[in-house]
Amino acid sequence: MRLEDLQAFLQLAEHGNLHRAADALGVTQSALSKTLARLEAGSGLRLVERSGHGVALTPAGLSLKAHAQRVLLAMGDLRGDLAEQRQARAGAVRVGVLPHLMSTLLSPLLARFVAQRPLAQFSIETQLSARLLELLQRAEVDLVLAARPDRVPRDLDWRPLGPLDLRVALRSGHPRRAQLRALADLTAERWALPASSLYLRHWLDERFTEAGLPPPRVAVESTASPSAFAELLRQSDLLGILPAQLLQQGEGHGLVALPGDALLWRRELGVFWRAAGYLSPVCADFRDAVVQGG
């Protein structure tokens, strides 16, 4: 039996009249009569008794009505359940991420997630932490993977992902590598550094100031990620600051970190979202996957 035939039969049972039921369904009376004939042929039983006042359901018709109601309710539940599952598995997720976390954290997570959610779509924005949090506050991204600022804005919520270690880095063949052991040893060196407006640059400048030393001698500065300086450090005698994890990967080939806690910059990574913002089911699921994977 067709679902649309059962729906038509319930209309006929409700109205008790072919003409009124046909009007309610938006079909002709002839079309409704053919539907009724199809149901009676399929069941092998008479379902209605016709009279001058309309139609009345036979015992078989009453039985069909009860079952049809249950079938259509079950189909409605099924459609709703499947729609919720589609909503949970589909949708677009806008993610902002620190450039060096793209390969070390985000890409492996995405590979696993999209295999389970083939309808999900992702757009990725790579920026430094301060810029990413601004984009999040303006609702231009849904989630951000970034370093936690000293004060997390009140309109954002977050979960920790572990530490981010950055170290003073230089090429392994640097002519003065063996002599660079303490902060004071670095005052004569030239640097490739983040711009003065960025967190990491503030930290380095403060370290020099607290030690009573002149600020670092900047040869190159940029608002790009510190990771963008890797090739420059390989090809020069400049010093820079790079993620410790990057130095252990292919991007860090030919580069080394200077030893010592005084030359270590540690910040906590986190995944951030707007506290009062709406996260779609797929976006919330991906946030949870990031927390578990982080």
Residue 125 CA, chain-centre distance (Å), reads 12
Q: Is the pLDDT of residue 89 over 60?
A: no
| pLDDT 10s digits, 269-284 | 999 999 988 888 889 9
CA distances from 189 to 3, 77, 254 (A): 80, 70, 19
Considering the chain, what is the average pLDDT of its residues?
Answer: 87
Distant-in-sequence, close-in-space partners of 248: CB < 8 Å, separation ≥ 6: none
> What pLDDT sits at residue 190?
97
Radius of gyration (Cα) for the chain, nearest Å? Answer: 34
> What pLDDT sits at residue 77?
61
- Please state, as a whole number, how many other Cβ atoms lie within 10 Å of the Cβ of residue 199: 16
Distant-in-sequence, close-in-space partners of 236: CB < 8 Å, separation ≥ 6: 171, 192
Q: What would the DSSP string read from start to end of 14-53?
A: HH--HHHHHHHHTS-HHHHHHHHHHHHHHHTS--EEEETT
Bridge partners (DSSP) listed for residue 123? 94
| Residue closest to 135 by CA, chosen among 227, 276, 272 | 272
More confident residue, 141 or 74: 141
Degrees to nearest 5, angle at CA 257 with 256 and 261: 165
Residue 226 pLDDT level (bands cut at 50, 70, 90): confident
Compute the distance between CA of residue 128 and CA of residue 23 in angstroms, rounded to an integer.
63
Reduce the DSSP state of residue 183 to 3 states and report it: helix
Degrees to nearest 5, angle at CA 293 with 289 and 294: 115
Compute the distance between CA of residue 47 and CA of residue 14 in angstroms, rounded to an integer.
14
| Residue closest to 259 by CA, chosen among 174, 164, 180 | 180
Q: Is the pLDDT of residue 71 over 90?
A: no
| pLDDT 10s digits, 98-152 | 887 887 789 999 999 988 888 888 999 988 888 899 999 988 999 999 989 889 9
Residue 88 pLDDT level (bands cut at 50, 70, 90): low
Q: At what angle do helices 3-15 and 18-25 cross, to 10 degrees?
A: 130
| pLDDT 10s digits, 31-56 | 988 998 998 898 898 998 988 778 89
Q: Is the pLDDT of residue 81 over 60?
A: no
- The tokens of 198 are what? 């960025």
Structural domains of the chain, with CATH: 3-87 (1.10.10.10), 91-163+268-293 (3.40.190.10), 165-265 (3.40.190.290)
Compute the distance between CA of residue 126 and CA of residue 145 in angstroms, rounded to an integer.
10
